Amino acid sequence: MFEQVEWKTLGLIALTYVVWALATGWLATIWLPLAIGVTALSLALHSSLSHEVLHGHPFRNRLLNEALVFPAIGLFIPYLRFRDTHLDHHRDENLTDPYDDPESNYLDPAVWDQLSPMMRVVLRLNNTLFGRLLIGPIVAQVTFTGSDWRLVRGGDSNVVWAWVWHFVGIIPVVFWLAYVGHMPLWAYVLAAYFGISTIKIRTFLEHRAHEQVSGRVVVIEDRGWLAFMFLNNNFHLVHHLHPGVPWYELPKMYFANSEQYLQTNHGYRYRSYGEVFRRYFFRAKDQVPHPLWRSTK
């Protein structure tokens, strides 16, 4: 049994909670801005670890895995909804589809044509890395919550229970902040927002519109601190091809056969996140209406 446990992942989950507790407790009494920053990073790492959990790590038992991320320290997205929508996203034949890929940032061109000029400005800004960091969490939350609300109104009990469990999971966070920690609620909400912004760096150009499914998934050959925060999910093609492989094996798999992977995804590669920032911080990575939608539907 114990040899099947992924100890690196389990240890990192424990360390993340320790850092989170120290940041919201002890560090908040020393210098609040630093505490907010460290809390944001711990929440971003917790999000990455939640992604590992939904793919079956570190245990072979799903309930044990999900118990590890039950406290809803990220505040905004219910884990169970993240799990279900992300597994839907892994139906690779639907990648970037404005309707069938829950994580697509593209719109049906017909929907785009009906948007107000102000909404188009907002979504164009959101397609720059600067905009994704600044307003991306708001755009994503409004879209996600609106979609779930429509499902709730349609009678989807699974969505209702996902949100119920999410609010239950927030209770220990509120208790900690009220009786143990020293971080004001406004500061914690700000840290949670910054944590989502950090994750938006990873998701910014994970997928592109491409005729071939395999050409829609990126590789960013970064090995720095952002790659660690994202648990090597910047080797995103490798993850999509081998979703059951743990995070610490992805770089080794890629660099052992990088030429074949890059042939598979038609060269959709960046050398580092530094390159991504230089190219797209103030420039849109692509257009919001799906450029291939009319030709593929």
pLDDT tens for each residue of 21-38: 999 999 999 999 999 999
Q: Is 279 part of any domain? A: no
Q: Is 54 part of any domain? A: yes
DSSP annotation string for 191-219: HHHHHHHHHHHHHTTSB---SSGGGGB-E
Q: Is it the case that residue 295 has pLDDT exceeding 50?
A: no
pLDDT tens for each residue of 173-189: 999 999 999 999 999 99
Q: Is it the case that residue 208 has pLDDT exceeding 80?
A: yes
Contact 196, 137 (CB under 8 A): yes
pLDDT tens for each residue of 123-133: 999 999 999 99
- pLDDT of res. 143: 95
Q: Is 186 part of any domain? A: yes
- pLDDT of res. 149: 96
Q: Is it the case that residue 51 has pLDDT exceeding 80?
A: yes
Angle between helices 32-54 and 7-22 (to 10 degrees): 150
Q: Is 84 part of any domain? A: yes
Q: Average of pLDDT values for 215-237?
A: 97
Specify the number of domains making up the chain.
1
Average per-residue pLDDT in the chain?
Answer: 95
- pLDDT of res. 296: 45
Q: Is 261 part of any domain? A: no
- pLDDT of res. 293: 85
Angle between helices 136-153 and 117-126 (to 10 degrees): 120
Q: How far apart are CA 7 and CA 14, in angstroms?
A: 10
**Confidence at 2, pLDDT banded by 50, 70, 90:** low
- pLDDT of res. 212: 93
Q: Is 143 part of any domain? A: yes
pLDDT tens for each residue of 248-260: 999 999 999 999 9
Structure tokens at 216: 């829609």
Residues 6+ apart with CB under 8 A from 21: 176, 181
**Domain coverage including residue 182:** 2-204
Q: Is it the case that residue 219 has pLDDT exceeding 50?
A: yes
Q: Is 253 part of any domain? A: no
DSSP 8-class letter at 90:
T
| % of the chain surpassing 70 pLDDT | 98
Q: How far apart are CA 249 and CA 255, in angstroms?
A: 11
Q: Average of pLDDT values for 68-87?
A: 96
Supply φ then ψ for residue 91, to 5 degrees. Answer: -80, 90
Q: Is 290 part of any domain? A: no
pLDDT tens for each residue of 262-294: 999 999 999 999 999 999 999 999 999 999 986
Nearest partner of 126 among 207, 43, 197, judged by Cα:
197
